[in-house]
């Protein structure tokens, strides 16, 4: 896949290939997802000793995290090598999201998720992003995070980019090759990122306007930069098409919101389950699920216990989709008239993708 992307990029001009936010996930109980057979084989029997990474770790547990970091670095090196094989002059960029990688309550997790195998010259540029700290006004955390990453990986200012992230309002994210400003401010973006932000903003705006037109029972606040929706009033019995439009509009109201594992709100972040809970107005969604473990039967039972009605045939707009992106991974998405809305862990955002999902469809439901 990396080779294909690099080939397409090279046809359009100089290739710039970003490996964005690769890390080992942690669950709600702060255990790290080192669960698949290949990882167990690579890390050895001590991987079974791993408990919460928020608790004090012994030397063997720290060694497992170091080994996981080496495995992550080897994986990204393989992607980089595949790109260089077809685009020798491609610029390789690594994007690291510091508030997750440097979480103060999980200090040893940096061993696995910011490995020294990423140190210069593994990549041409190191890109640091920390919009959670920026939104909180925590300039001190931004400065400390950038300093730590610089010391650990050794990229000089001319090979380093800093992204303030997706900021509220109509101004685009910043990119500059220096330390985070104090206090953090928005700087003029490069043409590359200005174009991408403009395209994203136009697409999100168009989707939200379409949702308003299709669903008179739900209003989108034009003053809200994240297209947050007001409460949906369905006091009168809606038609199926009206209800479907309201569900799609609710899902689209989350577009641009950040991805957060077990997240439940537009403001602080969502995962695919949290997105579905908002779209279908399902209260009290449990947090003790493990979509990365492939427990299909349990997930289906939870969905149907929430009142969803399983249907056959081709999914139509407002259908809840259960997908399998990988051998040990499950994922939820909401079908729309143009594609599907989902919480994309790779992009770190709730996004709408045109066309059908590229992954196997296991089942789909409609609101009862």
What is the pLDDT tens value at each position of the chain, 368 positions in all? 878 888 887 777 788 889 988 888 887 788 888 877 888 888 888 887 788 888 899 998 999 999 999 999 998 999 999 888 888 888 999 999 898 888 888 899 999 999 999 999 999 999 998 877 776 777 788 888 888 999 999 999 889 888 755 443 334 444 443 445 433 333 333 333 333 333 333 343 343 334 333 333 222 222 323 322 222 322 333 456 788 989 999 999 999 888 888 888 888 889 899 999 999 988 877 665 556 555 677 788 888 888 899 999 999 999 999 998 876 688 999 999 989 999 988 788 899 988 889 889 999 999 87
189 token code pair:
């973006």
Please return the burial class of 273, using the count of CB atoms within 10 Å of its CB with bins 0-12, 13-18 and 19+. buried
Residue that is last in its domain, among 166, 189, 212? 189
Residue that is last in its domain, among 154, 189, 224? 189
Residues pairing with 229 in the sheet:
220
234 token code pair:
């369905």
Which of 283, 217, 274, 272 shows the shortest CA–CA distance to 244? Answer: 217
206 in the same domain as 120 = no
CATH number of the domain that residue 248 is part of: 3.90.1720.10
| pTM of the predicted model over 0.85 | no
Residue that is last in its domain, among 152, 173, 189? 189
Neighbouring C-beta atoms of residue 60, cutoff 10 Å: 10
222 in the same domain as 318 = yes
202 in the same domain as 74 = no
* Total of domains in the chain: 2
312 in the same domain as 220 = yes
Give the pairing type, strands 91-97 and 125-129: parallel
Question: From CA 111, how far away is CA 151, in angstroms rounded?
Answer: 14
User: The domain containing residue 76 runs over which residues?
Assistant: 2-189
240 in the same domain as 148 = no
133 in the same domain as 276 = no
183 in the same domain as 203 = no
128 in the same domain as 64 = yes
218 in the same domain as 344 = yes
């Amino acid at each position: 896949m990396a080779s294909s992307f690099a080939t397409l990029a090279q046809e359009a001009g100089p290739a710039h290939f970003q490996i964005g936010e690769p890390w080992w996930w942690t669950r709600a109980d702060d255990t790290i997802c080192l669960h698949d057979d290949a990882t167990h084989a690579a890390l050895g029997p001590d991987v079974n000793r791993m408990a919460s990474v928020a608790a004090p770790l012994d030397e063997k547990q720290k060694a497992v995290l170091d080994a996981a970091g080496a495995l992550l670095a080897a994986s990204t090196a393989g992607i980089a090598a595949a790109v260089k094989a077809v685009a020798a002059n491609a610029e390789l960029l690594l994007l690291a999201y510091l508030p997750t990688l440097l979480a103060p309550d999980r200090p040893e997790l940096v061993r696995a998720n910011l490995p020294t195998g990423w140190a210069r010259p593994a990549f041409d540029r190191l890109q640091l992003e920390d919009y959670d700290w920026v939104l909180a006004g925590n300039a001190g955390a931004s400065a400390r995070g950038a300093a730590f990453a610089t010391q650990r990986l050794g990229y000089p200012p001319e090979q380093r980019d800093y992204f303030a992230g997706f900021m509220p309002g109509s101004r685009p994210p910043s990119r500059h090759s220096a330390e985070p400003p104090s206090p953090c401010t928005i700087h003029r973006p490069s043409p590359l990122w200005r174009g991408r932000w403009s395209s994203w903003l136009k697409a999100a705006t168009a989707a939200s306007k379409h949702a308003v037109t299709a669903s008179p029972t739900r209003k989108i606040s034009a003053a809200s930069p994240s297209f947050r929706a007001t409460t949906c009033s369905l006091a009168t019995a809606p038609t199926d098409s009206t209800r479907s439009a309201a569900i799609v509009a609710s899902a689209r109201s989350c577009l641009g919101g950040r991805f957060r594992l077990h997240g439940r709100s537009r403001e602080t972040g969502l995962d695919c389950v949290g997105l579905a809970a908002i779209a279908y107005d399902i209260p009290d969604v449990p947090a003790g699920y493990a979509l990365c473990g492939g427990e299909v039967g349990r997930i289906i039972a939870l969905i149907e216990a929430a009142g969803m009605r399983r249907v056959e045939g081709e999914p139509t707009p407002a259908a809840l989709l259960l997908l399998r992106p990988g051998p040990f991974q499950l994922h939820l998405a909401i079908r729309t008239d143009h594609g599907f809305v989902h919480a994309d862990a790779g992009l770190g955002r709730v996004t709408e993708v045109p066309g059908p999902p590229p992954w196997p469809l296991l089942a789909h439901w409609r609101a009862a």
